[in-house]
A = this chain, B = another copy of it.
C-alpha cells in the first residue's frame, strides 16, 4: 500500500514528543509512535535510525550552519569572535520554536538516554568548531579551547532561552556572550 504522507517526519517527531511526555521514553515503542503519526514502522525507520534520533533530527544541519558561520567570519576576527559568529548563527534556526524547544528540552533533561545523546552531539559540535578554527590558522590547543567555550555559551544560552521569557534566541546568545566577557574581564 502506497500512502501519501505529507511531512511524515514532522508528524513522527510530534507523535514521539507527545508519547514520550505521556508515558515516558522507555515506555514508548517505535510501533506506537508510527501508529500515532498514522504511518508504518517502516516509514519511521526511513526517517530516523532509532527512537532517540527522532528528537535530534536536524542537528547535523544545525552543526553545518554554525560551522559555516565560523568559516565565513571576517579574516580579521580572532578565535573568540569567529566562534561567536558560529554560535549566533543558531539564532535564526530556532525562530518561533521556543515552545517546541522547551517541550523537547524537558524530555531530554528527564531521560538519561536522551541526555547522553545530546552530550555526544555537543561534543561533535566542539570538534567541528575546532577544525573550522584551525582552518582559519588558529593553533590546535587554542582552537579547541575557543571551540569548547563556544559550545558552553551556546548550551547555557539555549537553556536560558528555553526557561526564560525572551522569545529571541539570538538576543539571549548575545547577552550570554557579553556576560562571558564581563565574567572574565
Which residues in A have some Cβ–Cβ distance to B below 8 Å? Answer: 78-80, 112, 115-116, 119-120, 123, 141-142, 144-146, 148-149, 152, 155-156, 159-160, 176, 179-181, 183-185
A179 CB, nearest partner CB in chain B, Å = 6
The DSSP consensus for interface residues of chain A is: helix
- Assuming the A-B contacts A80-B183, A80-B184, A119-B116, are A145 and B141 also in contact, with contact meaning beta carbons closer than 8 angstroms in the complex? no
Question: Within 8 Å CB of A146, what residues of B?
Answer: 183
**Docked complex Cα distance between A82 and B140 (Å):** 28
Query: Are A142 and B184 neighbours in the complex by a CB distance under 8 Å?
Result: no
**Docked complex Cα distance between A132 and B46 (Å):** 47
**Docked complex Cα distance between A148 and B155 (Å):** 9
Question: Within 8 Å CB of A184, what residues of B?
Answer: 80, 149, 180-181, 184-185
